[in-house]
Structure formats: structure tokens, C-alpha cells
């Protein structure tokens, strides 16, 4: 049976992708952002997972207003980087894992999650920036990636509780997949930030730190945070943190926090990153 | 949905992209998303008015795009993730768009962020220096 | 508050649409099929609902294999009849009810159903044939229609239990909509039939009659029927009956059966139809 | 998924459109669905081979379409709701397709249906008269 061995969360800021792609990582502004990801790079080299389940949100790239899925799992062989208005990022095509992706789709649907199955999709910075942070600039990504997109653009997004429970269903699905593979689940987006209107630039470090603490200490409490609280306390785009709850739900009760990184700012956003290993 | 959405309305400087906004901004957002194709970006840059006329948006939405008035576009149903494609077409960063929406010079906005961002006790809009 | 006043279920056979469109309803083959819908036509004329929530499945018309939503609710102003390979059916455009459709979408998502929101969609025979059976051949459909599409093409479809519970969530949603409107919910598809392979033509009248009885007598038991049982006992396309459970879930515990019609065959299918009023 | 799908395999004459079938039949089904557009139907009718070559399906899938061998297409990942668009393009009813798949003359199939259909005690395939 396959196993989820760890969860990794990180912000997925487009400007971070641009800084990487344009070779600015050593600039004083960016240096402290990227320094916090050195550990993750080493950790992935040692851990060598067979695949990553990458929870992210599409930012009006693959999904327009014509059709807005709440949860969409990518079952295709590959996913090309999206053109978000300045040409696609110069990163490798993402190779999927159709066998496991379909297995998770089937298992979660029978578990009464109403998934949308996707067989053709481009992936935007929400998915590719976390890969760049974990793996730098390789010519191929080192492992298969299953994209799982969560609607946080059109209100209402799924509740935190629903996300947390989807994570649990994903863990059950992976553990019923016949293989000995070791899987990492990633939750992306956040932490506190607001990109819109006169309140843009909103940051709440206290909220973010409590959220990072809660991942190990009391995830059930995190799952109860309302949409309103996210927007009030973490900014309108802080709502993306519900995606971290899917990652958390897919992990064991007992975890070891291996690494944590928090820095303000990257562009408009508080950068948060954590590595949690199942014990 | 009244109860759910009412509370969000008390958050200053923030528009929730709910059903009302989504219906209002449908064509505005679909226009913005069309800029994901290079040929469309070129057509838009070559003649903004002609390109905008392909999309059945309202005259005020049309004008707000021409004016690059992002706050106005948001009020008229635009969603920032869609509108970001207009910014990208103009070669503007997300931080540039954010500074425009706050009414702050870009350097001031950038400095506010470097100093920890707009913390929960700070007022919205331009920050006093 | 709006109210669901009744549920109407019916098969949605394409050949029935063709018979109607080609003026064959009085032919001996078709006469007993259509006779059973006279009551429904009268009933709708008397009942005059403000809107219909129409549960159906798309038959590879609006949804290809690129993107397969489990539950998709149509929030658009209108929906054109699809071209299923012989040109669109000559029936009116379907006028939606965006305000109520969005309300149901929002309410069910917050109720932890993972809906896909649709703002652009053509509708196939699964939706238009039931309307033709209820309303004949008018120049405009007499009321607004909210399409709710359920995946029964790609396995696995949602469980019967999930469908039944979605119905309950739809009832809660309608009852929290500020209006005094009276809504009818329709469940379509079925009854027993198989369209594929050497077993095509499969019909099980005993199963169908028990299912019709169960709608009033023991819907909880119907909600427990497995996918396997549907395919074994009702044929591979009999699985469409899960959509009747959404309708049933949206009704009160206590119902009055106002009308029932059952006839074999229409083309490859057992025609089933029932009208259930909330008491 | 083994446990869930295994039991379906014991049902005779029936193929469940699961992940395996869906992946196998992706391009076959996408070809069939393309026939929802009249211009595509005309192109297909004008030159079936040329039209089929637009879709990267396997040679056996390609041949099964040319042969209108629906059972074979289903075995190769076709789904009946997609394949029905081929039938519609040919001007065939769903009942015609069903008779083809059962290997029964259309009148025999039609009569079986009029007599109540293939009831659960009857064998699959052509029904003895
Ligand atoms: Fe994001
Ligand atoms: Fe059907």
C-alpha cells in the first residue's frame, strides 16, 4: 500500500516565480525569501518521494467563469505551464501520475466527495512556483505531480472543515493504492495577504504564526476557522489557507515539524513554509 | 445567502467575489482572461477600443479598463485574478497593481510591505509616512 | 421563503423526443407511451410552478472527457438545446433562474457539497425531453428551469446516498431563498435499460416497480442501493436512477403519490414516471 | 478500486466505463464527440479516413470506427454516449445501434423490446425466437 510520508506547505507567490526565472534570488530583497527554502531542497533530495499531490488553486488560468469546479483533480499524463499574460513560465512540463490520480478520484467520489475529473489542463503559478521553490531550475521535475485544484476565486470556496475532511479521504485513497510508493502532499497558497482594493498589502503575522503552530498542535481548531475570519484576519487572499488544511487532513495525528520559514514580504504577501513528517 | 455575505461587507476596502459580482463582471472578466493568448494581447495593444468592443460589457466597465482603474473594475464585478491579466499585458507586476489600488506611490507601497505590510491596526488606503 | 411543492420523475429517452418532434405520438407504438403523460400536462397547468429544478445527466454533450464534474449546477440566463449529432432539437431555448441557481450553488457548497458552477452550457435530450413530455410543443417553456447535471457516464458516479443527501441540501437551500415561489423538482433518467453491448435491451420491470413503490414507502432503503445492484438489476444505464434520489431527497418525508405511469418499451428503455406531492 | 470494479466484471455483455476504459478510449471518444458540429460531420462523411487521422487513436480503434463495430469500439474504450454521435451522423437510431451490438436483426430486436425487453432470466446476445 502506498503511503503519505509527509506534508509540505508553502506560499505560491507569482513574483517569487518571476524572481527565480529572472535570476534575482541573490538580490537583498529576495535573498531572505529563498534562504528559507534551502532546507526543503535538501529534504526533497534525501526524501526522494515517488510523487507529489499538489493542492493549489487556479488563478483564472485553466478555469474561466464558464465552469467553476470546487475540487478538481488532474488525471492527465502531463500539464503545461499556463500563459498568465506574460508568456508561460520557463519551467518543465509537469508529468502527472494518471494511475494514482484516477485512483484518488474514484476513491474520494465513492467516499462522497464530489470531485471534478480533469484530463486536460494548463497549470499556473499556483502549482509551478512551489515546484520551483522545492527543486530550483531543473530541466525536468524530479517526480510525478498530481495537481488538485481548489476553488478560492468564486465565493463561496469550500469550508475549511470540508477541505480538512477531503485530506482525510485522500489519505484513505492513497493507503488503498497498490504500490509501495512514498507520497508527499503539498498545500500551497497563503499566508496572509490581500491583493485587491484599498486594503491591499494587508499582513497579519500573529495570525500566520498561530496557523503554523496549529498545524501540529490543534488542526481540528484550524478546520473550524470561518471564511469570514480568514478574510478579516488574513486578508482577502488569505482564504487560500484552506488548502493547507487538505494537506494537514492527509497526514497522521502525530507529526514532527522538521522545518519552518516565515518572512514578510514577498511582493504583497507573507511567505510561509513548513515541513511536517508523519511519525 | 444574506447572513453569510452581510458580515463580509463590514470589512473595509474589500469586495467579495460573490454571485452578484460574478454576474455583473462576467464579460469584463472573460475579456481579461482572453489576454492569456499572445495574439489577443497584441490585438488589444494595437487598438484597445476595438478589442474591448468584442466583449459585451457595459460602457462604464469599458471605460474603467481604458483608465486602468482597478478599484472601479473590482466594483463593477472584476476579480483581481482575472484583472491581473490586464496588468500582465501592460507589463506591470502584481505589486504595481496593488500600489495603484491603494492610491500609494509604488515606492511607498513597497516600503510599507518591507516594514511588515499593512498590519491589522492600520487604516486602509494610503498609509501616513 | 420559497418551497419545493412536488417532485416529478420521468425517463428522458432520446427516441421519445424524436417521436414528438416528428409528429409520431399517435402511432400505435408511441400512443401508450405518451398517454401516460396526459396527467402531468394537466397537473403542470394547474400547479403552475414558478420554476423547475431539473436533475438530469449530460450524455457527452456539454461535458467531454476533458472535464467531468460530479454535480454541476447551471447558473446562466439561458441554455440552448445541444446538437447531439442530428442538429439541435426544435424546442425553445431554456430560460434559467440565475438568482435561485446561484443561491442553491452557494448554499450547497457551504453545506459541504462540492458543486461545479456552470455559466455556459448547452442542454441535451436529458433535459429537453422531460420538458417536452410535461409541456408538449410550446413556443416558450412556461417557467424557468435550473439544470443540475449529475455524472453517470464516467465511473464512478456519485453514490445513491450522496444523491439523496444532495436532495436534502437542495430543499434546505430553496427554503432559505427569500421569495414566496413554488418550485417543482424533477428527477430524470432511467428506468431499467441498457444501451451497450450484447446485453442491450435489458429491462427489469420488477425492479422498476419496486423502485417506484420505494419512493413513497422507503426512500432510505432506495438510497442504499449500490452501483453494482443498479447495473445488475436495472441495466448499465439504469444507474441513471440515482438522479431520482436527488429529487426524492428534496421532498418531505410524507408524500402523496398523485400519478404513476410505467410502460415498456420506448426504444430500448422502460418508461417510468411519477408525480409526488409534499403533504 | 479493485474490489469495487471486480464485481462488475461478472455481469455479462457489459463494460463499465472506468478509468482504464476512459484512458484507453480518450481520443476515440473525443473524435465521436467532435461530430456534434455539422461541419465536422460533413468532413467525416466526405472522407472518413482523412477525418479520423486528425485524432491520435490506435489503428484498431480507427478500423473499428470504419467498420461501425460498436462492441469493438466499446472494448477499446468507447463509451456509448460518445459513440452515439457516430450513429447519429449515420442517421441511425439508438435502437439500431442496440440491435447491431446484440447481433440481432433490427426487427427481432424491436420485437424483443415490444415483448417486454431482455428480462433478467434471458441470456445475453441474440434471443432465440
Ligand atoms: Fe494564490
Ligand atoms: Fe439518459
Question: Which domains can be identified in chain D, with CATH numbers?
Answer: 16-92 (1.10.700.10), 93-129 (no CATH)
User: For A204-247, how does the pLDDT look when each residue is reduced to its tens digit (9 = 90+)?
Assistant: 999 999 999 999 999 999 999 999 999 999 999 999 999 999 99
What percent of chain C lies above the pLDDT cut of 70? 100
Angle at C137 (CA atoms; ends C133, C138), nearest 5 degrees: 120
Q: Please state the separation of Cα C179 from the chain's center in Å.
A: 24
Please tell me the distance from the alpha carbon of residue C190 to that of residue C238, in angstroms, as a whole number: 5
pLDDT at B127: 65
Judged by CB atoms closer than 8 Å, whether chains meet at B82 and A87 is answered as no
- Cβ(A43)–Cβ(A60) below 8 Å: no
Q: Which of residues 133-162 of A touch C (CB under 8 A)?
A: 154-159, 161-162
Angle (CA) A240 A246 A251, round 5°: 140
> What residues of chain B lie within 8 A of the CB of C106, using their CB?
1, 4, 18-19
> Nearest residue of D to residue A177 by CA position?
D1
D and B adjacent (3 or more CB pairs under 8 angstroms) = no
Q: Do B29 and A65 count as a contact with CB atoms less than 8 A apart?
A: yes
Within 100-129 of B, beta carbons closer than 8 Å to A belong to 101-103, 109, 112-114, 116-120, 124-125
Percentage of chain B modeled with pLDDT above 90: 91
Nearest CB to B71; choose among A197, A205, A232: A197
Contact C67 A72 (CB under 8 A): yes
Expressed as residue numbers, the domain containing A22 is 3-278
The shortest C-alpha distance from D24 to chain A (Å) reads 12
Q: How many angstroms away from the CA of C26 is the closest CA of chain D?
A: 17
Domain count, chain A: 1
Are A156 and C106 in contact (CB < 8 Å)? yes
pLDDT for residue A114: 99
Q: Mind listing the pLDDT tens digit for each residue in A126-169?
A: 999 999 999 999 999 999 999 999 999 999 999 999 999 999 99
Mean of per-residue pLDDT scores for chain A: 98
- Predicted confidence at residue B1, as pLDDT, reads 77
- Asked if C60 and D33 come within 8 Å (Cβ–Cβ), the reply is yes
Alpha-carbon distance B25 to nearest alpha carbon in chain C (angstroms): 12
> Which letter does DSSP use for residue D76 in this model?
T
C261 is catalytic: no
A15: CA distance to ligand 2 center in Å? 48
Give the residue-averaged pLDDT of D16-28: 98
Rounded to the nearest angstrom, the distance between the alpha carbon of C189 and the centre of ligand 2 is 5
**Of C4, C2, C24, the residue nearest C252 (C-alpha):** C4
A217 CA: distance to closest CA in chain C (Å): 25
Output the average pLDDT for chain C.
Answer: 98
* Integer Cα distance of D54 and A264 in angstroms: 51
Instruction: Name the band, by pLDDT with cuts 50, 70 and 90, for residue D129.
Output: low
Tell me chain D's radius of gyration from C-alpha atoms.
Answer: 16
Contact C110 A65 (CB under 8 A): no
Q: Is D85 on the interface with C (CB under 8 A)?
A: yes
| Beta-carbon contacts of residue A47 (< 8 Å; ≥ 6 apart) | A5, A6, A182, A184
Q: According to the model, what pLDDT value does residue D1 have?
A: 77
Nine cell digits for residue C90: 426544435
Query: In the numeric block, which cell numbers belong to residue B89?
Result: 499585458
Check CB contact under 8 Å for A85 and B101. no
Report the pLDDT averaged over residues D31-40.
98
CATH of residue A26? 3.40.830.10
Give the residue carrying C-alpha cell 477499446.
Answer: D76
Asked if C111 and C185 touch (Cβ cutoff 8 Å), the reply is: no
First-last CA distance in chain D: 40
> Inter-chain contact D94–C65, Cβ cutoff 8 Å?
no
* DSSP label at residue B8: G
> According to the model, what pLDDT value does residue B123 have?
83
Summarised one tens digit per residue, pLDDT across range C130-176 is 999 999 999 999 999 999 999 999 999 999 999 999 999 999 999 99
D1 shares contact with chain A (CB less than 8 Å): yes
Q: How far apart are CA C206 and CA C158, in angstroms?
A: 24
What residues of chain A lie within 8 A of the CB of D33, using their CB?
Answer: none
User: Is the four-CA dihedral C106, C112, C114, C115 of positive or negative sign?
Assistant: negative
CB atoms < 10 A from the CB of D107, how many? 9
Q: Which residues of A lie inside 8 Å of D (Cβ-Cβ)? A: 75, 98, 102-103, 105-107, 110, 119, 178
Residue A133, Cβ density class (10 Å: 0-12 exposed, 13-18 middle, ≥19 buried): buried
D57 touches C at CB < 8 Å: no
Q: How far is C235 from chain A (nearest CA, A)?
A: 20
Residue D35, pLDDT score = 98
* CA D54/CA A48 separation, integer angstroms: 40
Tell me which of A12, A59, A193, A273 is the catalytic residue. A193
Task: Kindly tell me the sign of the dihedral angle through the C-alpha atoms of A100, A102, A104, A110.
Answer: negative
Q: Per-residue confidence at B2, pLDDT binned at 50, 70, 90?
A: confident
Cβ neighbours of D2 in A, within 8 Å: 178
Q: Point out which residues pair with C272 in neighbouring strands.
A: C262
Question: Please, which residues have CB within 8 angstroms of residue B80's CB and are 6 or more apart in sequence?
Answer: A195, A196, A237, B70, B74, B97
Q: In this prediction, what percent of chain A has a pLDDT beyond 70?
A: 100
Taking contacts as CB-CB distances below 8 angstroms, the residues of chain C near D117 are 192, 201-203, 264-265, 268, 270
Of the residues C103, C193, C261, C273, only one is catalytic, namely: C193
Which chain D residues contact residue C202 at CB under 8 A?
117-118, 120
Interface test with A, best of C109, C122, C223, C227 (most A CBs within 10 A): C109
Chain D residues lying within 8 Å of A102, measured CB to CB: 19, 22-23
- The reported pLDDT for the residue numbered D126 is 74
Say yes or no: ipTM exceeds 0.95: yes
Residue D119: its pLDDT value, please? 93
**pLDDT tens-digit series, residues C60-93:** 999 999 999 999 999 999 999 999 999 999 999 9
Best interface-test mutation with A: which of C65, C71, C112, C227 has the largest number of A CBs within 10 A? C112
Q: Which residues of A touch D4 (CB under 8 A)?
A: 106, 110
The 3-state secondary structure of chain C reads CCEEEEEEEECCCHHHHHHHHCCCCCCCCCHHHHHCCHHHHHHHHHHCCCEEEEEECCCCCCCCCCEEECEEEECCCEECECECCCCECCCCCEECCHHHHHHHHHHHHHCCCCCEEECCCCECHHHHHHHHHHHCCCCCCCCEEEEEEECCCCCCCCCHHHHHHHHHHHHHHHHCCCCCCEEEEEEECCCCECCCCCCCCECCHHHHHHHHHHHHHCHHHHCCCCHHHHHHHHCHHHHHHHHHHHHHHCCCCCEEEEEEEEEEEECCEEEEEEEEEEC
pLDDT in tens, C196-237: 999 999 999 999 999 999 999 999 999 999 999 999 999 999
Measured in angstroms, the CA of B30 and the nearest CA of chain A are apart by: 7
Please say if A125 is a catalytic residue. yes
Can you tell me which residue has the cell 419512493? C215
Do C154 and D82 make contact, defined as CB atoms within 8 angstroms? Answer: no
Amino acid at each position: 500500500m502506498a503511503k503519505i510520508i509527509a506534508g509540505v506547505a508553502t506560499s505560491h507567490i507569482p513574483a517569487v516565480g518571476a524572481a527565480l526565472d529572472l535570476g534575482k534570488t541573490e538580490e537583498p530583497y529576495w535573498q531572505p525569501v529563498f534562504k528559507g527554502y534551502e532546507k526543503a531542497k535538501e529534504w526533497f533530495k534525501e526524501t526522494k518521494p515517488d510523487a507529489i499531490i499538489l493542492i493549489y488553486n487556479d488563478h483564472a488560468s485553466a478555469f474561466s467563469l464558464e465552469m467553476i469546479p470546487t475540487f478538481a483533480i488532474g488525471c492527465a499524463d502531463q500539464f503545461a505551464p499556463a500563459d498568465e499574460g506574460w508568456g508561460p513560465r520557463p519551467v518543465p512540463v509537469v508529468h502527472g501520475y494518471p494511475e494514482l490520480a484516477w485512483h484518488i478520484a474514484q476513491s474520494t467520489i465513492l467516499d462522497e466527495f464530489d470531485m471534478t475529473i480533469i484530463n486536460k489542463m494548463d497549470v499556473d503559478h499556483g502549482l509551478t512556483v512551489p515546484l520551483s521553490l522545492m527543486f530550483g531550475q531543473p530541466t525536468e521535475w524530479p517526480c510525478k505531480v498530481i495537481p488538485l485544484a481548489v476553488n478560492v476565486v468564486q465565493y463561496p470556496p469550500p469550508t475549511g472543515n470540508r477541505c480538512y475532511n477531503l485530506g482525510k479521504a485522500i489519505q484513505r485513497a492513497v493507503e488503498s493504492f497498490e504500490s509501495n510508493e512514498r507520497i508527499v502532499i503539498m498545500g500551497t497558497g497563503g499566508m496572509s495577504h490581500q491583493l485587491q482594493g484599498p486594503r491591499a498589502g494587508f499582513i497579519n503575522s500573529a495570525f500566520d504564526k498561530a496557523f503554523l503552530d496549529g498545524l501540529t498542535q490543534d488542526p481540528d481548531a484550524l478546520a473550524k476557522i470561518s471564511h469570514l475570519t480568514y478574510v478579516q484576519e488574513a486578508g482577502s487572499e488569505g482564504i487560500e489557507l484552506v488548502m493547507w488544511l487538505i494537506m494537514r487532513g492527509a497526514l497522521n495525528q502525530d507529526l514532527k515539524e522538521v522545518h519552518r520559514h516565515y518572512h514578510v514580504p514577498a511582493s504583497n504577501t507573507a511567505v510561509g513554509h513548513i515541513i511536517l513528517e508523519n511519525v | 445567502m444574506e447572513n453569510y455575505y452581510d458580515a463580509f461587507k463590514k470589512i473595509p476596502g474589500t469586495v467579495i467575489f460573490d454571485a452578484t459580482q460574478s454576474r455583473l463582471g462576467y464579460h469584463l472578466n472573460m475579456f481579461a482572461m482572453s489576454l492569456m493568448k499572445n495574439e489577443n494581447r497584441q490585438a488589444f495593444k494595437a487598438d484597445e477600443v476595438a478589442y474591448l468592443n468584442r466583449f459585451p460589457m457595459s460602457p462604464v466597465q469599458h471605460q474603467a479598463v481604458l483608465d486602468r482603474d482597478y478599484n472601479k473594475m473590482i466594483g463593477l464585478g472584476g476579480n483581481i485574478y482575472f484583472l491581473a491579466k490586464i496588468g500582465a499585458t501592460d507589463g506591470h507586476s502584481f505589486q504595481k497593481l496593488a500600489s495603484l489600488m491603494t492610491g500609494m506611490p509604488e515606492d511607498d507601497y513597497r516600503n510599507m510591505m518591507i516594514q511588515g505590510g499593512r498590519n491589522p491596526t492600520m487604516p486602509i488606503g494610503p498609509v501616513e509616512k
